[in-house]
Structure 1
Amino acid sequence: MASKHFQCTRCGRCCRASIPLGLAEALDHDESFLLALVFSMETWNLDDFAANRPVLPITHEDLFTTLAFRKDKLAMDASRDLVFRVGRAPSGTQRLATFVTVGAAALGDFHAGQARCPSLAPDDTCSIYDRRPLGCRVFPLDPLFPEMLQHVPLAGLETRLPCDFSPQAPEIWREGSLTDPEALALLARRQETIRRDSLFLPYYRVAAEAFRPMPTLPEILKSLGGNGRLDLPFAPALVYLTAAGAISPERAERCLERQTALARKAVEQALARKDKAERARTAVLRNCLSLMESFTGRIAQAADTAPKG
């Protein structure tokens, strides 16, 4: 693949799901978005490439390059054994590689079974475009792929979104390199955020009992089932950021107060709509609200008492 072109048409089609955020970055948006703590897992069969049925058009060789990149560049030393693991399938005959990430997400509003970014204007344009999160700014690049293989996620987007990928659009990638220095800088920033946030995994593993009734890390990984995503309340991230000295307990409490108010509003609106399609999501929101309320006023205490590893 010699080159790729891209031009955003600001159609709003990519704003129908949650926005990926770094754990610390999420606090810059805690007044506008309901935040979630997000665990994700991907599992790849290293011996039988056909068994993977990849959504993206990736070759076996490019897959190995991507997995090596994720292991070496998207995890800190203390978290690498949790982020990237190679083991045997239950049959014992094939090797499986598992890749785990953790971060935050700004959840969209939910109406009639569909998500929608709260910052989308009625005409589907972004109302916060000039101060949109890093996860939006880096689009259409995928931080889980190295620069040299960005043509893989770009090719996948061409089949799903009405963005301008024609040769008339600005060139974004050519022969293994990004041609836009700003895009390259944004990609590096987003990748470094994922790398830093990987340290939350070992922290949560040893501190999970302090967050009950939330699941432990082994319970989370089991529920992901090899491939999947799990959204949980953001409160443990606030405890972690406080314990790490990234934010003050007072700032964490302000975030928790804002998030509790947003969760309460979301529950009230969902109940008022009486949409059966929302029942499961509303039940999850109510459980999240209950847990956030239980942490109110004790972030500092939780940060001091939770094991540090």
Structure 2
Amino acid sequence: MVSTFSFACSACGKCCNSPPAMSLPELFRHRDRFIGCIAIGRVPRKRLGEKLRVGKYETVLDETDVAAFDAIADTLLHRAGDTFSLTTQGYDYPSLARCPALEEDGRCAIHFDGKPLTCEVVPLDPLVPDALQHLVLAGRNQSAAYLGTDCIQEGDRADGKLMVAEGRIEDEAARDALARRRESLAAESKVWGKAVFEALRKELFESPAALARIPAGSFLSISIVPALLAVAGVSARCRQLSLDYIDSQLALIERSIAQALLRRRLDDRPITQELRAFAGAYQRAKTILAVPVRPGDESSNPSQVSEVEAYLSGADC
């Protein structure tokens, strides 16, 4: 069966219907536009002989496929019995059905000013091996049709870029964006992901009752504060960057809730409650971070300090 897909983005904005996944530095950069959160998802471990099917496309996983999935999991994901993804991302009212950076004309307001890397990766998926990206595109082809666009099509189209063909990503820009997004996710795991995962292990990842809160095929959104606390302890500079981010977020949450109250939608109420919980977590974090740093509390590793400070400042984005 042909596994060739082309992609022709018209920048119509139809797929920009929710806030994107964003690295911590990206959220810091756009702190006045995107409310940040941590999204926790459950990623089923792939097995030899398992069938992956999207519409008419079906693949039976062989040893090479399973090894490729495991390599991604070992680098980008976290394991405690099951396998989990921890990513930072934007958070907003689903009733708005739009990215906070989407302009009224359907264009991206930050396309030339720090557009999130995950947007460059569209329509590929960094958690899927390159050889199986045609399944991702097959699924997103169906979603694109639902949204009323034909940006993803089977075959090699003259009016689009050849994206994947026979297990290979053909577009050089797409390969580069995918590699950079995976590098970004690996950096996220190193800088704060592993620390947050261990901090939440007992109360979430090893608790069947708590795990039931993670919806199938979706994410559990929690406050971004655990990630901030993980990086704030590295140096005084990281602490100040985290405090500055918190102040901006508190102001943004206040504005977002005020706008929601004017809309008077019943389906906005759970999100308003969640945002108020985020604000409470930020206030508690400010109290923690306001305590003077004691000698020995910060990292004594100069290379770690410079690495994380550069990371948060966006130098490595």
TM-score between both structures, scaled by the size of structure 2: 0.76
CA–CA separation in structure 2 for the residues paired with 1:56 and 1:194: 31
- Where does residue 154 of structure 1 map in the other structure? 137
Q: Can you give the 5+ residue segments of structure 2 that lack an aligned partner in the other structure?
A: 299-317
- Where does residue 8 of structure 2 map in the other structure? 7
- CA shift at 1:32, angstroms? 1.6
**Identity over the aligned pairs, expressed in percent?**
25
Which string of whole-angstrom CA distances, capped at 9 and with x for unpartnered residues, describes residues 29-72 of structure 1? 2122111111111336848957x88789552317x755533321
Which string of whole-angstrom CA distances, capped at 9 and with x for unpartnered residues, describes residues 60-97 of structure 1? 317x75553332134349x7544xx4xxxxxxxxxxxx
- Where does residue 92 of structure 1 map in the other structure? none
Corresponding letter in the other structure for 1:182: A
Write out aligned runs for 1:171-190 (5 A): 171-190=162-181
- Where does residue 140 of structure 1 map in the other structure? 123
- Where does residue 59 of structure 1 map in the other structure? 59
Corresponding letter in the other structure for 1:100: F
Write out aligned runs for 1:84-95 (5 A): 85=81
Write out aligned runs for 1:43-122 (5 A): 43=44, 46=47, 57-61=57-61, 67-76=66-75, 81-82=79-80, 85=81, 98-110=82-94, 113-122=95-104
CA–CA separation in structure 2 for the residues paired with 1:277 and 1:65: 45
2:220 corresponds to 1:237: no
Which string of whole-angstrom CA distances, capped at 9 and with x for unpartnered residues, describes residues 210-264 of structure 1? xxxxx64435534226653111111111111223569611111001111111112
Give 3-state SS (helix, strand or coil) of 2:213's partner. helix
CA–CA separation in structure 1 for the residues paired with 2:220 and 2:229: 19
Runs of 4+ with deviation above 4 angstroms: 44-50, 52-58, 64-67, 244-247, 300-305
CA–CA separation in structure 1 for the residues paired with 2:33 and 2:232: 21
Moved more, 256-265 or 194-203: 194-203
Give 3-state SS (helix, strand or coil) of 2:36's partner. strand
Give 3-state SS (helix, strand or coil) of 1:17's partner. coil
Q: Can you give the 5+ residue segments of structure 1 that lack an aligned partner in the other structure?
A: 86-97, 210-214
CA–CA separation in structure 2 for the residues paired with 1:198 and 1:273: 38
Preserved CA contact (<8 Å) 2:46 2:69: no
- Where does residue 199 of structure 2 map in the other structure? 207
2:213 to 214, 220, 223: 223
1:249 to 239, 242, 247: 239
Preserved CA contact (<8 Å) 1:74 1:194: no
- Where does residue 93 of structure 1 map in the other structure? none
- Where does residue 272 of structure 2 map in the other structure? 282
CA–CA separation in structure 2 for the residues paired with 1:143 and 1:302: 40
CA–CA separation in structure 2 for the residues paired with 1:53 and 1:44: 16
Distance 1:150 1:142, change over 3 A: same
Preserved CA contact (<8 Å) 1:4 1:165: yes
RMSD, aligned CA: 3.2
- Aligned length in residues: 281
Preserved CA contact (<8 Å) 1:33 1:118: yes
CA–CA separation in structure 1 for the residues paired with 2:48 and 2:171: 36
Corresponding letter in the other structure for 2:126: P
